[in-house]
């Protein structure tokens, strides 16, 4: 056996699947084939238990507590912050802000960093961004006259690096890019992107919502200014996401929202903010969900991540080989460095119809614009069908997906 075949063989999908109760259910009389992982991943027993245990045994509001439950909840909540920091290889847990989602994390940066921008300052985005990394910057365009510039995406789904370099001017203040595309699967060359941004004196943020799920992320090595991800795509609860900010960014930026938990002192005439990261966490956070995110990180750390990634690649290869045999099929995303996402269109079959028909066979795929209108416009399509894979998916499921797709096509074409 080759090294790859060995590690794929060693990757025990059935044992993994057994940890996810939902994967054994039936949908429309068929075993569920869940290939919508890029939209949200399913949860292992360890995460479900961690969240339920908070509610059952140690729930109270966090911080400022003088009683035992409050102290236990605070300890578990802050332990989760340490887990996020370690997961990203951030130098300190104080550089991690909990948010309710990736969307909120980007809004936080766009708002707090955006407060330092002036009319005519420039922000660089790419054509493959998720709407959550576009709209918050549009707010700055509309409200402050900030200029947005766009890195083009080539036919294979890779960023045009020459065009990227050419976009910089002395007014460029921020580059905000997806690390791994939720539509194309493209993994962008993060270190090179950082090097170029910093050479031009601009800060750089990565939307790691997909990347953090599929590959180890090391923010210290990347050298980026901001990195964000969301818990629900990382086998954790929804309602918990995180922002990492390098160096003293959190000290330098204004708070995003005001309220309890984020202050040191409030009077009729003024306010003294709490130290970072609490300065950015106004109000009661999603306590059990954040603790659940910590459990999800523990669970991911327990995976053989190299083997998991190779297994996902093997699933994608099998799916793409099957798709390649379909006449009139157009596959989006052929970049060299690519995660386990297959986006495609079939001539004569509307993506929504295909997805709905495949659901009749228990196969869950997503169809539509995937919150990436500019990318759809770039390729001149209204949407695609997207199958996105997780380590708990099996080769049998890839075959069931292809079979369901052929059945769906037979009704439409």
Ligand X SMILES: *Cc1c(COP(=O)(O)O)cnc(C)c1O
What are the residue numbers of the active site? 371
36 is written with which tokens? 């919508």
Window 239 to 298, contacts with ligand X (CB under 6 A): 241
What is the chain's percent helix, strand, coil content, to nearest 5?
45, 20, 35
Binding residue (CB under 6 A) for ligand X from 37, 176, 209, 393? 209
Least Å distance between CB 104 and ligand X? 7
Report d(CA 120, CA 259) in Å as an integer. Answer: 32
Of residues 349 and 355, the one with the C-beta less far from ligand X: 355
Least Å distance between CB 207 and ligand X? 5
What letter does residue 18 receive in the DSSP assignment?
Answer: T
Window 58 to 77, contacts with ligand X (CB under 6 A): none
The sign of the torsion formed by the CA atoms of 358, 361, 365, 369 equals: positive
Window 164 to 203, contacts with ligand X (CB under 6 A): 178, 182
Site string for ligand X, 320-359 (x = CB under 6 A): ----------------------------------------
Of residues 83 and 232, the one with the C-beta less far from ligand X: 232
Where are any strands of DSSP class E within 55-185?
Answer: 96-99, 122-126, 147-151, 172-178
Binding residue (CB under 6 A) for ligand X from 36, 121, 122, 207? 207
Of residues 178 and 193, the one with the C-beta less far from ligand X: 178
Which stretch in 27-35, 86-94, 206-214, 267-275 sits in contact with ligand X by CB under 6 A?
206-214
Report d(CA 101, CA 106) in Å as an integer. Answer: 9
- For ligand X (CB under 6 A), the number of binding residues is 15
Give the Cα-Cα-Cα angle 178, 192, 333 (nearest 5 degrees): 45
Of residues 128 and 140, the one with the C-beta less far from ligand X: 128
Binding residue (CB under 6 A) for ligand X from 102, 193, 296, 357? 102
Which stretch in 129-137, 190-198, 336-344, 378-386 sits in contact with ligand X by CB under 6 A?
129-137
Report d(CA 67, CA 405) in Å as an integer. Answer: 57
Least Å distance between CB 327 and ligand X? 30
210 scored as a contact of ligand X (CB under 6 A): yes
Closest CA to 252 of 229, 227, 280: 280
Least Å distance between CB 407 and ligand X? 28
386 scored as a contact of ligand X (CB under 6 A): no
The sign of the torsion formed by the CA atoms of 343, 348, 353, 359 equals: negative
What contacts 370, CB < 8 A, 6 or more positions away?
38, 130, 182, 183, 343, 383, 384, 386
Give the Cα-Cα-Cα angle 248, 292, 84 (nearest 5 degrees): 25
230 scored as a contact of ligand X (CB under 6 A): yes
For residue 94, with 0-12 CB atoms within 10 Å meaning exposed, 13-18 middle and 19 or more buried, which class applies? middle
Which stretch in 127-135, 245-253, 361-369, 405-413 sits in contact with ligand X by CB under 6 A?
127-135
Closest CA to 277 of 301, 305, 248: 248
Binding residue (CB under 6 A) for ligand X from 130, 149, 311, 378? 130
Least Å distance between CB 228 and ligand X? 8
Of residues 38 and 62, the one with the C-beta less far from ligand X: 38
Angle, helix 305-324 to helix 395-412, in steps of 10 degrees: 30
SS3 249: helix
Where are any strands of DSSP class E within 210-257?
Answer: 226-230, 241-245
Binding residue (CB under 6 A) for ligand X from 101, 112, 188, 388? 101
What contacts 127, CB < 8 A, 6 or more positions away?
150, 151, 152, 153, 374, 375, 378
Binding residue (CB under 6 A) for ligand X from 7, 19, 42, 103? 103
Which stretch in 55-63, 99-107, 144-152, 359-367 sits in contact with ligand X by CB under 6 A?
99-107
Q: For binding to ligand X (CB under 6 A), which residues are involved?
A: 38, 101-103, 130, 132-133, 178, 182, 207, 209-210, 230, 232, 241
């Amino acid at each position: 056996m080759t090294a790859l075949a060995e590690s794929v063989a060693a990757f025990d999908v059935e044992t993994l699947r057994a940890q996810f109760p939902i994967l054994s259910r039936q949908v429309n009389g068929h075993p569920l084939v869940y290939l919508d992982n890029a939209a949200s991943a399913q949860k292992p027993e360890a995460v479900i238990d961690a969240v339920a245990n908070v509610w059952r045994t140690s729930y109270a509001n966090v911080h400022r507590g003088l009683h035992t439950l409050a102290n236990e909840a605070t300890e578990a909540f802050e332990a989760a912050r340490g887990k996020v920091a370690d997961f990203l290889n951030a130098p300190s847990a104080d550089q991690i802000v909990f948010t309710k989602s990736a969307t909120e994390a980007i809004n936080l940066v766009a708002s707090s960093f955006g407060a330092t921008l002036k009319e005519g300052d420039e922000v660089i985005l790419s054509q493959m961004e998720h709407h959550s990394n576009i709209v918050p910057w549009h707010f700055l365009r509309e409200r402050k006259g900030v200029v947005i510039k766009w890195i083009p995406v080539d036919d294979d789904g890779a960023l045009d690096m020459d065009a990227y370099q050419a976009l910089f001017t002395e007014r460029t203040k921020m580059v905000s890019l997806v690390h791994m595309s939720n539509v194309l699967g493209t993994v962008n060359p993060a270190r090179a992107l950082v090097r170029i941004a910093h050479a031009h004196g601009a800060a750089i943020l990565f939307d790691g919502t997909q990347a953090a799920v599929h590959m180890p992320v090391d923010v210290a090595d990347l050298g980026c200014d901001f990195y964000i991800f969301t818990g629900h795509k990382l086998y954790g609860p929804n309602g918990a996401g995180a922002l990492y900010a390098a160096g003293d960014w959190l000290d330098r930026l204004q708070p995003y929202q005001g309220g309890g938990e984020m202050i040191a002192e409030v009077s009729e005439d003024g306010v003294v903010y709490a130290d970072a990261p609490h300065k950015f966490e106004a109000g009661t956070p999603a306590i059990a969900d954040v603790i659940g995110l910590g459990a999800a990180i523990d669970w991911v750390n327990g995976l053989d991540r190299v083997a998991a990634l190779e297994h996902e690649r093997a699933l994608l290869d099998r799916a793409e080989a099957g798709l390649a045999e379909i006449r009139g099929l157009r596959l989006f995303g052929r970049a060299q460095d690519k995660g386990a996402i297959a986006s495609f269109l079939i001539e004569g079959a509307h993506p929504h119809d295909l997805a709905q028909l495949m659901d009749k066979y228990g196969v869950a795929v997503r169809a539509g614009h995937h919150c990436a209108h500019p990318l759809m416009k770039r390729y001149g399509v209204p949407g695609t069908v997207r199958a996105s894979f997780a380590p708990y998916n099996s080769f049998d499921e890839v075959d069931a997906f292809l079979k369901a797709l052929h059945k769906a096509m037979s009704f439409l074409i």
